[in-house]
Amino acid sequence: MDKKRLILLIILLLAIVLIVLGVKGNVFKENRQNMELRSSGDDNSHWFHLSGVVVEKTFDTLLIELNEKEESSLFFDTTKVSLDCTKCKGDLEQVSEGNVIKFYFFKYNIDGETVKIERIVR
């Protein structure tokens, strides 16, 4: 009986080790796929940035006149853009009309001439 129990215990431990290694391998595979997606620089994982002069400031929006030297024409057909600053209210407190700012956004947050931005830098 002791040999049978010892063999069953060894088989059980071996099965547990194989299961743990299989789960760990799947986690590494998912992490590697996520890192490859981020390093590829697709539009869903890349912050874009533009700059411009603040024309008008309201509660949580800014009207910006974009710098024409930048790549703003790749994103917008107009030179004035409305920024939805609900995610960056702390940064918004330091901005006033006439300031030149740089703002960061994801491409999928552009809705016509309105952009939900992630961060403002003065």
Quote the pLDDT of residue 23. 62
What's the predicted TM-score (pTM) here?
0.61
CATH number of this structure's domain 47-121, picked from the four choices 3.40.50.300, 2.40.50.140, 3.40.309.10, 3.40.50.150: 2.40.50.140
Q: Domains of the chain: which residue ranges?
A: 1-40, 47-121
Answer yes or no: are the C-beta atoms of 64 and 51 closer than 8 Å.
no
Answer yes or no: are the C-beta atoms of 114 and 81 closer than 8 Å.
yes
For residue 71, give the 3-state DSSP assignment. helix
Tokens of 53: 């002069």
Looking at every residue in the chain, the average pLDDT score rounds to 80
Answer yes or no: are the C-beta atoms of 64 and 54 closer than 8 Å.
yes
- For residue 40, pLDDT over 60 is answered with no
pLDDT digits (tens, 9 = 90+) for 41-96: 555 667 888 889 999 998 889 999 998 776 777 788 888 999 998 888 777 788 88
Give the type of residue at 47. Answer: W
